[in-house]
Copies of this chain bind each other. A is one copy, B any other.
Amino acid sequence: MTPAKLPAYEQVKAFIKTQISRGVWRAGDAVPSESALQQQFGISRMTVNRAMKELAVEGVVTRIQGSGTVVAQLHRISSTLAIRDIHDEILERGHRHSTTVLTVEAMRADAALAQVFKLRTGARLFHSVLVHFEDGVAIQLEDRHVNPASAPHYLELDFNACTPTHYLLEHAPLTEASYSIEAGLASAQEARQLGIKRGEPCLVMTRSTVSGPHVASLARLLYPGNRYSFSGNFQL
């Protein structure tokens, strides 16, 4: 079936995937049991089990203990969306990254911020606003609030040398994060800061991160619509 010398469990996975993508087995159909595949391939059950477990993780099949394995309802396309330090991202594209720092300050949480950070209204927070440039073109406006409990020395940083994202990942080990991506318009001020026209569409990512017991940071990231996109792909 497969030309190269693949590990046995990969051969099993490839076999299952081929049957599905060729339409031999359709969503909801039963997949042969582990013992059946064990005999068919002449390998041990642990090896078959590994193959099937990985397929289940990939979302290709659904397994129900005591019942069996069926081809998953592929009514979704799943792919991993990686959210990375913009500095690394730009360097990897072979471009130059630079930063303009617009604001670095301590401030007091209003009711909304207090709720996000699970602190009381009026609690002390750090606040920074930066613009990130890729080869001199603004691609991200980063408006960030930081919990002093997670990064007490945040205000002393040189953000030209180390991005907030980088610093926080280093000093506040990440335990949890959530994000949402929507479309929005740049305000007059934001447009000026990004060097785009007012009313230009932007991707708006809002992201909060948790480190240990604290909500470490809340970031609002604004990307000019025609200069940035999130992309990904799915296979099989």
Contacts and interface: CB of A to CB of B under 8 A. Distances in A.
A180 B229 CA distance: 6
Interface stretch (A15-23, A107-115, A141-149): A15-23
A79 interface: yes
Interface string A175-218: 11111111111000000000000010111000101011000000
Interface in A80-116: 80-85, 88
Contact of A176 (B26, B78, B236): B236
Number of copies: 2
Contact of A234 (B177, B203, B229): B177
Contacts of A88: 75
B81 A232 contact: yes
Given A181-B203, A185-B201, A74 B169 contact: yes
Nearest to A181: B230
A32 interface: no
A153 interface: no
B84 A81 contact: no
Nearest to A46: B46
A105 to B, nearest CB: 26
B223 A183 contact: yes
A236 to B, nearest CB: 6
Nearest to A71: B173
Interface of A: 20-23, 26-27, 46, 57, 74-85, 88, 165-166, 169-170, 173-185, 199, 201-203, 207, 209, 211-212, 223-226, 228-236
20 contacts: A21-B174, A21-B175, A23-B173, A27-B169, A75-B85, A75-B165, A75-B166, A76-B83, A77-B84, A77-B179, A78-B80, A79-B177, A81-B81, A180-B229, A180-B230, A182-B230, A183-B184, A183-B226, A184-B201, A184-B225
Given A78-B82, A185-B225, 7 more contacts: A46-B46, A78-B80, A81-B81, A177-B235, A181-B181, A183-B202, A201-B202
